[in-house]
Structure 1
């Protein structure tokens, strides 16, 4: 395995590990002693990973070390205006509207690239996936979960809102009514319910999570890369609300690109 061209110190400070093995990259939240709690440096490191992955990477797996995927935002950021040179909740409140908007937009970029159709992204989720942890899992195309998973959107109950891009994929995954229930109640969503409502692709025993993800990744990268990328683009367009006529037009254009590429011997 190799590491993509990214500052190893940023990865360390962000609490992440990165491995790239051919068409697969694995991002590991690597602070198990605090249940992989996230900080703004985590999001900065995630953004840097998205910008540095080599083009041959076709699938990205996001996982957490230890017994939890991620328990959400590091609690220090709720209590102090600044931690590790990054603004906390009260620090954001003291910024101007423009500065705060720019700062939060930069945080969001650590998550948003995971939904780009250039590559498939899979969250392997065990234990707690709370707040920012839930939103990180939601940023991925697919979620495969352990039978001990506990999803929770805790932000609203804390007096804030989900602001790392989680509302859009949550509504698309489970529908508006269920999203309202999950966000406003702050209740836990376990494995069986997550699969039943479309939040997770499948649930497996915790001891089998890594093997299940490996098997899924192997099947998902079996398709020819360019055809897979075009198909992901088509599906993403539909998910974002492309109307039927536009979807048909996009299919025609994508197919023509593929036929011409194949005719030219480009694969």
Structure 2
């Protein structure tokens, strides 16, 4: 898949050295506030990932100094209630499609990840933050609530009590606190964020198709009764066994030893 324009505010481009890794850019200076045009683009790109076979991993990054400073409030204030509901569901669906995409996703977060920007980060499988990153869901200070997955994914990520603290207070947290409460997985110097995220994502991009099935088993099985989760797991391991990667990996273990297999993602 290629981006429709190198200047688009939301675009996916292949990594120059590894075509199986895509980079999803958020690019609307100065703080990458998400206007409604970008909501539509996010939904379109996220939906396309579900039918995408070229990419095995995706890095999500904000161009410039910030990841994303949330939705553009100026566009929201004059909407009718019905119009707001329709538009909000576009962004919520975009993030749901991104969270459930088969690719392994890594968010590279510098600067602001606020409101919708924080919800975008929460939709990723992993989050790498710069030391100067700032996180928050300040919607309650505007008289509304997070509406694009924030109340749901945050509690599943950091626990109910901590999620209530952040959402009900609307307070911001720095990178150190975000790491301490489990909101991010790693903190590095700001200058190293994108490279670190790409390095991690390359491990997944070059891995077997089994990574997709493992992600599916964990995500879909999380809320299932254990018996249904085990049935899902049994079905997915059989699918892995039937792939070229599965056959190659097993034979490589016997002939070359562990961790020597080179997978083609099929």
Give TM-score scaled by structure 2 length: 0.84
May I ask how many residue pairs the two structures share in their alignment? 244
Between the aligned partners of 1:104 and 1:75, the Cα distance in structure 2 is 12
Question: Which of the numbers 213, 222, 241 marks the counterpart of 1:230?
Answer: 213
Give CA-to-partner distance per residue, 1:155-207, whole Å, 9 cap, x none. 01110111112221101101110000001111111112211221111110101
- 2:259 equivalent in structure 1: none
Question: Where does structure 1 differ by over 4 angstroms across 4 or more consecutive aligned residues?
Answer: 262-267
> Is 1:142 the counterpart of 2:126 in the alignment?
yes
- 1:198 equivalent in structure 2: 182
Q: Note if contact 2:179-2:186 (Cα within 8 Å) is conserved in structure 1.
A: yes
- 2:78 equivalent in structure 1: 90
> Measured at CA, do residues 256 and 16 of structure 1 come closer, stay the same or move farther in structure 2, by a change above 3 Å?
closer
- 2:94 equivalent in structure 1: 110
Structure 2: gaps of 5 or more residues = 249-264
SS at match of 2:79: helix
* Superposition deviation, residue 221 in structure 1: 2.4
Give CA-to-partner distance per residue, 1:238-258, whole Å, 9 cap, x none. 33x122222222121112222
> Measured at CA, do residues 218 and 154 of structure 1 come closer, stay the same or move farther in structure 2, by a change above 3 Å?
same
Q: Note if contact 2:20-2:206 (Cα within 8 Å) is conserved in structure 1.
A: no
> Measured at CA, do residues 162 and 145 of structure 1 come closer, stay the same or move farther in structure 2, by a change above 3 Å?
same
Q: Note if contact 1:128-1:151 (Cα within 8 Å) is conserved in structure 2.
A: yes
> Is 1:24 the counterpart of 2:18 in the alignment?
no
SS at match of 2:161: helix
- 1:76 equivalent in structure 2: 74
- 2:37 equivalent in structure 1: 41
Between the aligned partners of 1:104 and 1:73, the Cα distance in structure 2 is 10
- 2:162 equivalent in structure 1: 178
* Superposition deviation, residue 103 in structure 1: 3.2
Between the aligned partners of 1:260 and 1:30, the Cα distance in structure 2 is 40
Q: Note if contact 2:137-2:150 (Cα within 8 Å) is conserved in structure 1.
A: no
Between the aligned partners of 1:110 and 1:249, the Cα distance in structure 2 is 29
SS at match of 1:31: coil
> Is 1:260 the counterpart of 2:252 in the alignment?
no
> Is 1:208 the counterpart of 2:205 in the alignment?
no
Between the aligned partners of 2:162 and 2:54, the Cα distance in structure 1 is 37
